[in-house]
Amino acid sequence: MNLVGKTVLITGASRGIGEAAAYAFAQAGANVGLIARSTDAIAEIAGKIGEKALAIPCDVSRYSDVASAVAATAQTFGGLDVLINNAGVVDPIGHLQDTDPAAWSRTIDINVKGVMHGMHATMPGMIAQGHGTIINISSGAAHGPVEGWTAYCSSKAAAYMLTRAADKESRDKGLRIMGLSPGTVATQMQRKIKASGINPVSQLDWSEHIPPEWPAQALVWMCTPEADAYLGDDISLRDEDIRQKVGLV
C-alpha cells in the first residue's frame, strides 16, 4: 500500500481512529494534514510524524475553518488526494425526550454538517485534478436504531446518504466516495458509552472492541483500487471477508 507523494487530510485526528489513521497513512508514505479542535494533541502527533505532517486547529462545524484547513493542506503539500471525514461525537446519550435539544443539534453540526463541509471544500479541487478519494466514517447506527442514540443514529444515517448521493453525482468525474463502518472500537467514545449503561453496546466487555489500528489499516486499503467494488456504499469491518482483504485476519 504505497501512497508516496499522496496527501491525506484527516478530521478528528487528535485521538482514536483519526490518530491511528495519521500514523498509518504516514507509514504508507503519504503527507498528512491533521485537523481537530485539540490543538496540542494534533501538534504532538504531527511532531512524531515529522515534516510530512501538518497540524491545523479546526472546528468542522464551521465551514470557514474547514475551507481554510483544506487550502492550507493543499498549498503545503501541492495538492490533496484523500479526505477522511472522521470527526464525530456520540452525545447526547439518553432517551429522546430527555436529551438537550442544543446538544442534539451540536451532534448534527459535527456529524452531518462537518462531513458535508469537508466534502464541499475538497471536491472542487479533486474534480479539477480528475481524481480523489473521500471516506466518511460510518457506523452500524447509520443502518439501524440503537436505544439512547437518537442524535448519533440520525446523524450517521444522514452521513451515509451524503456518501451515496455524492458518489452518484461525482463518480464519473473521477472521485471515489465511500464509508467505513468499523464496528465498536476501543476509543474514548466507547468509554463514554460504557459509562452511560443505557443499551447493549454499553454492556460489552472492553476486550470485545477492536483496536483503532484496524480501521486505520482499512482506510489505507480503501484508497487502493481493491476497494473500488464498494464505491458509494459502506464497508463494514464486521465482515470477515473485508477483514481478510484488509489483512486483519
Q: How far apart are CA 106 and CA 154, in angstroms?
A: 13
Helix, strand or coil, per DSSP, at residue 147:
coil
Q: How far apart are CA 91 and CA 108, in angstroms?
A: 10
Bond from prior residue into 200 cis (ω within 30 degrees of 0):
no
Q: How far apart are CA 239 and CA 158, in angstroms?
A: 22
Helix locations, the chain, DSSP H: 16-27, 39-49, 63-77, 101-108, 114-129, 150-170, 188-196, 213-222, 240-246
Residue in 23, 63, 152, 160 annotated catalytic:
152
Helix, strand or coil, per DSSP, at residue 80:
coil
What cell numbers appear for 98 in the block?
430527555
Whether 23 is catalytic is: no
What cell numbers appear for 133 in the block?
478519494
At 3, the amino acid letter reads L
Given a contact cutoff of 8 angstroms between Cβ atoms, the answer to whether 216 and 23 are in contact is yes
**Which are the catalytic amino acids?**
152
